[in-house]
Amino acid sequence: MSGADNAEADAETVAAVVDALKKLRGGHGVLTVQKFSHQPTLVQLLGDGDLFDGFIAFKRELGRLQRGNKFEAAVAYSIAADYESVLDRLQATAEALADGEPRDQRTARHWSDRGMEAVARELIAFAHLRGHLGRDLIGIALHDGGTGAVDIRIVQVASIHLRPRAPVVTVVQQPDSEHPMTNEIDLGQIHPDSRAVDGDLVTTAHTIRVALPNEGLDRERLAVVSVMARGSPTPTYFLESADLHSARSTFAVHRGLAVVELMSASRKSTLERPGDGRRAS
């Protein structure tokens, strides 16, 4: 995060993060998911609201901070040291960072207090980098593209400060055949249908045509389209259903990846949810 961005980490946000860090430091018990769950500010900041993602990211950041300067390391040790009481954690912090000189828990608390604001700002910078303080929405709409084709429109709405990158789309035609055809498309290398900036949001739209096979239409899957987000690890996907005559579709999302399967309209499936995609040539 640049100096200007760092200055924009408003005092209220920094204070809220410092308060959460101090509560974790002072709380009884070793650092666990349950203990971390009582700090919603950190859950949102580091996991975009996902408790386990946030906890894993927090543990990783604490490990990195332990290798930093003495004050930031003191914050990390005083929270993560494997002791039940805060006094024992502070004593362990003093012993880990004392450089051979006798120190006690009061010195460790002083070091930890001095590092709190810097650590809070680093965690806020981490959230900006991962997109947890911004927005990355990706809409996917399916439409008939004429005989034997489906048009897939992908609209991305992202916060400008995320430095948004267009998704990468992979199209696999006839995926269950002996010779499936795969085509990877970097939307960032394709001129968009439209691009508009409104305040701190930029909206970009692309349309891709997926050709469906002319034979073997009794196959369950005609094509599989994967959309991998690159602007944020946890984008929000929206699917717009359309009355397709050429195919049916299913839709699934896992973290930054959305997958759409296009199937023969003549086959029935237990899943009736529309999909996503991009143009295959």
**What is the pLDDT at residue 233?**
57
Domain membership of residue 281 (yes or no) is: no
Q: Are residues 96 and 141 in the same domain?
A: no
In the chain, the largest separation of any two C-alpha atoms, in whole Å, equals 80
Q: What is the predicted pLDDT for the residue at 136?
A: 75
Answer whether residue 149 is part of any domain.
yes
Nearest CA to 174 among 247, 243, 251, 239? 247
pLDDT, mean of residues 242-262: 82
* DSSP structural state of residue 191: -
90: which 2 tokens?
A: 């502070």
Which helix (H) or strand (E) segment holds residue 144: the answer is: strand 136-144
Cα 14 to Cα 281: distance, rounded to the nearest angstrom? 50
* E strand intervals along the chain: 136-144, 149-159, 168-173, 181-186, 194-198, 201-211, 221-228, 236-240, 247-254, 257-264
Task: Say what the pTM is.
Answer: 0.52
At 78, which amino acid appears?
S
| Overall number of domains in the chain | 2
Strands 136-144 and 236-240: parallel
Cα 110–chain centre separation: 35
CA distance 109 to 246: 67
On whether both 108 and 143 belong to a single domain, the answer is no
Q: How far apart are CA 228 and CA 278, in angstroms?
A: 11
pLDDT digits (tens, 9 = 90+) for 182-239: 999 999 999 999 999 987 788 999 999 998 876 555 557 889 999 998 766 567 888 8
Query: 3-class SS at 197?
Result: strand
Label residue 7 by pLDDT band (50, 70, 90): very low
The one-letter amino acid at 247: A
- Whether residue 277 is contained in a domain is answered as no
Quick one: 74 and 142 in the same domain?
A: no
pLDDT digits (tens, 9 = 90+) for 148-195: 888 999 999 887 655 678 899 999 988 988 889 999 999 999 999 999
| Sequential DSSP letters for 70-82 | HHHHHHHHHHHSS
**What residue numbers bound the domain in which 119 lies?**
3-130
Q: In this structure, what token pair is assigned to residue 87?
A: 């006094």
Indicate if 124 and 54 belong to the same structural domain: yes
108-126 per-position pLDDT tens digit: 999 999 999 999 999 988 7
Residue 62 vs residues 66, 76, 109, 124: alpha-carbon distances, Å = 6, 5, 16, 14
Confidence of residue 243 (pLDDT cuts 50, 70, 90): low
Clarify whether residues 79 and 100 are in a common domain. Answer: yes
Say how many CA atoms lie within 13 Å of 39 toward its Cβ. Answer: 26
As a whole number, the mean pLDDT across the chain is 82
Quote the CA–CA distance of 226 and 9 in Å, as a whole number. 35
143 and 115, same structural domain?
A: no
Domain-ending residue, one of 130, 145, 166 = 130
Q: Does residue 278 belong to any structural domain of this protein?
A: no
